[in-house]
Amino acid sequence: TRLVFSASVALVVLGVGLWLGVSLSRWAGASPGPKMLNTATVLQQVKTLSELVTVQYVMEKVVVLEVPADNIIGKMVGSQDRVLLLAHGIVKAGINLQRLAPEDLQVNGKKVTIKLPPAEITSCSLDEGLTKVIDRTTGLFTSFDKNLEQTARQHAVEDISRAARTSGILKDADDRARAQVKNLFTQLGFEEVEFLPR
């Protein structure tokens, strides 16, 4: 009986000691940080790419998206849900070599005649490390839109892609593609490279 009693007292003392240790460490600010659970990464798709990316534009845009309140009181006081986003975009352009047909390439001795496919934007995305929300406010009598920031990002991608086209990214991509293709055929031993109009 004494042995069982001693063991019980020892367990109680040990339990209280552990509880006090954890509680004191939390009170002292030594609580553990965020816990990342290790989950499996699943391969969804593999694609073969035939794109010759020749130019990249880095652009910034400020996007302000405001959604007015949908109730009478909110409309009367001008309440709104608003996000101010500084978007840092990366636009890449080049040519798709898969669109190159056999008749687009002709070889005659040391001369190559080629008709390149038109330049196109291959990707447009936001640099998440540099893109940031500057301001996010939800007024009184206005419901919080959880998708507002994502909508602002989509608008930013569309506007940045459009701005890159206006700034001449397709012409730059075409000029650089011609220069790279010409350099390639010159290294292969051809003396003349002619580009046919599309």
Give per-residue pLDDT as tens, 99-147.
Answer: 988 899 999 999 999 999 999 999 999 999 999 999 988 877 777 888 8
Helix (H) or strand (E) holding 171: helix 169-187
The mean pLDDT of 81-106, rounded to a whole number, is 92
What are the C-alpha distances in Å from 180 to residues 48, 171, 173, 177? 21, 14, 10, 5
More confident of the two residues 94 and 13: 94
The model's confidence at residue 24, banded by pLDDT at 50, 70 and 90, is: low
Residue 5 reports pLDDT greater than 70: no
More confident of the two residues 161 and 17: 161
Mean of the per-residue pLDDT values for the chain?
84
Q: Give the whole-number percent of the chain exceeding pLDDT 70.
A: 82
Give the span between the Cα atoms of 116 and 130, in whole angstroms: 35
Give the span between the Cα atoms of 62 and 155, in whole angstroms: 11
For 111, which DSSP code? E
pLDDT at 167: 95
Q: Hunting for tokens 């005659």 — which residue is that?
A: 108
pTM comes to: 0.72
In the three-class reduction of DSSP (H, G, I as helix; E, B as strand; rest coil), residue 106 is classed as strand
SS3 content of the chain, % helix, strand, coil (to 5): 40, 30, 30
Residue 153 reports pLDDT greater than 80: yes
Lowest mean pLDDT among 81-85, 157-161, 162-166, 173-177: 81-85
